[in-house]
Amino acid sequence: YLMVNNAYYPPEAASMRDFEPIAKTQAPIVVSHRGNTKGEKSDIPENTPQAIEAAIQAGFEWVEVDIQLTADAIPVLFHNSEIKDKNGELADIGDLPFETICAIRGDDKTISLAEALERYLDQIGFLIEVKPQKQIDRNYQVNRKISELIQDHPLKHKIMVDSFNQLSTMFIKNRCDCVVGFDAPYKKKLSIDDLKAIRMMDMDWVYVHHEAANPDLIENAHEMGLRVMVYTINDPALLNQWDAEVFPDGIMTDYAGIQQKILQKFQ
């Protein structure tokens, strides 16, 4: 119903306008993936206050976090849709209130999106990945809750929102006028038509796996007016597939050392 009736879609005039090409990147942003700085198997759990603080201390200007919605409709930093309870049984995040998740994971490791933005947004920018929910009504709830947090925030320019669910990013963009990105299907090679469709959804960025981020894709995306975020670059050798003339606009990594390697390319 929502798709057929364009309920989340921008006005027709906006969707049909000519796309303005954008210039190549002069300084790609480097993003700490879930707050990791020493690899995904770091002793600091990802999507926690400690992980965000580690990213800040490592010199990252951006951190990526994942958002799930609790049973009491609180957007919480957590990647998976399930969590192991104290008996080792899997439970859906959406079936548990925030306080129960705190009890399972630990108060010091569990943080809501509202608290994370209040505590850290003045120190680091946030890439907020909205995880698709299992029910349509909960998708609406998480989108609305995130929109309310972003809408009038004085540091809104330091927030980007992305999702594999195009309705989430379209919903939030229409209500917040913030920068949003579409997560392309995993490792999918995107055609020009794919990029045009993403741009017509009024996206600002497209997020792609590094195996799909060849120079042609980057150039085609820039022609469409799209920025390109590439994940997850943990091997410096992977940076050699692009030169400074055709380089992604953003790189997501689990290692702080990748930043220096990228800076060397642009010196």
Q: Is the pTM of this model over 0.75?
A: yes
- How much is the average pLDDT of 14-39? 86
Instruction: Pick the more confident residue, 102 or 134.
Output: 102
Residue 118 pLDDT greater than 70, yes or no: yes
Which contacts qualify for 258-265: CB closer than 8 Å, 24 or more apart? 258/30, 258/233, 258/234, 259/30, 259/59, 259/60, 261/236, 262/28, 262/30, 265/239
DSSP class of residue 112 equals: B
Which pLDDT value is given to residue 41? 85
Instruction: Pick the more confident residue, 7 or 154.
Output: 154
- How much is the average pLDDT of 26-36? 96
Q: What tens digit of pLDDT does each residue of 190-249 get?
A: 999 999 999 989 999 999 999 999 999 999 999 999 999 999 999 999 999 999 899 999
Contact 222, 243 (CB under 8 A): no
Q: Where are the alpha helices (DSSP H) in the chain?
A: 12-15, 49-57, 98-105, 113-120, 136-150, 166-176, 192-200, 215-224, 258-265
Residue 134 confidence class, pLDDT cut points 50, 70, 90: confident
Q: What tens digit of pLDDT does each residue of 138-187 get?
A: 999 999 999 999 999 999 999 999 999 999 999 999 999 999 999 999 99
Which pLDDT value is given to residue 16? 47
